[in-house]
């Protein structure tokens, strides 16, 4: 019963072109030898060299990576037990339904609201941990992103596996160590990746919360824009894009492994 919709292919390709042409142009112009991003002058990798020698850019990048990796690690660490607790295997606890919604609330709340709330909270308690402030803010909103893939994965695991393990006198820890964790690994990994990418991408919260010297890459690039966008920005964006794509690819490959 395969039905062919006329014009489907053309529409799909047009859609893809519409989505990806700007990115392709961005990458092409990162190899432009001209100072302008709109006029092509010739091929050169100079802008990559300029970008790699820009200390401020390097600092912003390392800030982004520190925050991104930190937020990825801690938010996954919090999201994993949360997902296990929320999953129906255990006894229900009072307010479970409410908690379920609360966890994903950051996904639904406008980012600006979180940003202002976080900023005023940090100011109120006088928290000043330099880049730690940004890290904490990121961990909080990354938890939801790390949590969702883990929970989704958890739901695909048949409960009979846990029951079988329990039947064979496995302790709670053993069940977790030898059954739950290996099966959950792809979910944990994609959760972690999602948290990392979300943290790397974040602009609004970081721009509001960042104390002196803790600017991340997106905030830095944004502040640079008025000076005129040189292909240096393109080069940095291309590097960042390559990095993100590698991560997405890795997460995809790992998720290909179906549960046994």
* Binding interface with other proteins (CB under 8 A): 35-39, 55-56, 59, 66, 69-70, 73, 119, 123, 128, 131, 208, 210-213, 215, 220, 222-229
Closest to other proteins by CB, 94 vs 126, is: 126
CB of 70 to other proteins, least distance (A): 6
Closest to other proteins by CB, 4 vs 53, is: 53
Closest to other proteins by CB, 15 vs 228, is: 228
With a CB cutoff of 8 Å and minimum separation 6, the contacts of 116 are 208
**Coil, strand, or helix at residue 127?**
coil
Cα(53)–Cα(31) distance, rounded to whole angstroms? 16
CB of 162 to other proteins, least distance (A): 23
CB of 226 to other proteins, least distance (A): 4
Closest to other proteins by CB, 56 vs 155, is: 56
Closest to other proteins by CB, 168 vs 225, is: 225
Closest to other proteins by CB, 104 vs 176, is: 176
Q: Are 148 and 104 in contact (CB under 8 A)?
A: yes
Token output for 55? 């200390």
CB of 185 to other proteins, least distance (A): 11
With tokens 């909270």, the residue in question is: 121
- For 16-36, b/e burial (b = at least 16 CB within 10 A) is eeeeeeeeeebeebbbbeeee
With tokens 């940004």, the residue in question is: 134
How many other C-beta atoms lie within 10 A of the C-beta of residue 121? 12
CB of 169 to other proteins, least distance (A): 27
Token output for 15? 């859609």
With a CB cutoff of 8 Å and minimum separation 6, the contacts of 96 are 86
CB of 146 to other proteins, least distance (A): 14
């Amino acid at each position: 019963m395969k039905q062919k919709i006329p014009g489907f292919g053309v529409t799909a390709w047009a859609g893809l072109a519409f989505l990806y042409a700007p990115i392709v142009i961005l990458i092409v112009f990162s190899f432009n030898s001209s100072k302008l991003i709109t006029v092509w002058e010739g091929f050169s990798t100079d802008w990559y060299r300029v970008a790699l020698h820009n200390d401020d850019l390097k600092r912003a990048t390392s800030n982004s990576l520190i925050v991104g990796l930190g937020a990825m690690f801690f938010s996954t660490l919090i999201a994993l037990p949360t997902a296990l607790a929320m999953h129906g295997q255990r006894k229900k606890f009072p307010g479970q339904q409410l908690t379920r919604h609360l966890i994903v609330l950051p996904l639904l709340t406008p980012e600006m609201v979180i940003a202002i709330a976080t900023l005023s909270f940090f100011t109120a308690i006088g928290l000043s941990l330099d880049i730690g402030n940004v890290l904490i803010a990121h961990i909080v909103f990354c938890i939801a992103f790390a949590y969702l893939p883990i929970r989704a994965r958890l739901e695909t695991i048949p409960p009979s596996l846990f029951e079988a393990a329990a039947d064979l006198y496995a302790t709670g820890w053993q069940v977790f160590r030898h059954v739950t964790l290996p099966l959950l690994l792809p979910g944990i990994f994609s959760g972690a990746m999602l948290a990392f990418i979300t943290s790397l991408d974040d602009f609004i919260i970081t721009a509001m919360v960042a104390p002196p010297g803790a600017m991340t890459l997106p905030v830095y690039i944004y502040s640079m824009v008025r000076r005129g966008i040189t292909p240096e920005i393109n080069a940095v964006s291309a590097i960042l894009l390559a990095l993100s794509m590698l991560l997405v690819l890795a997460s995809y490959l790992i998720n290909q492994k179906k549960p046994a």
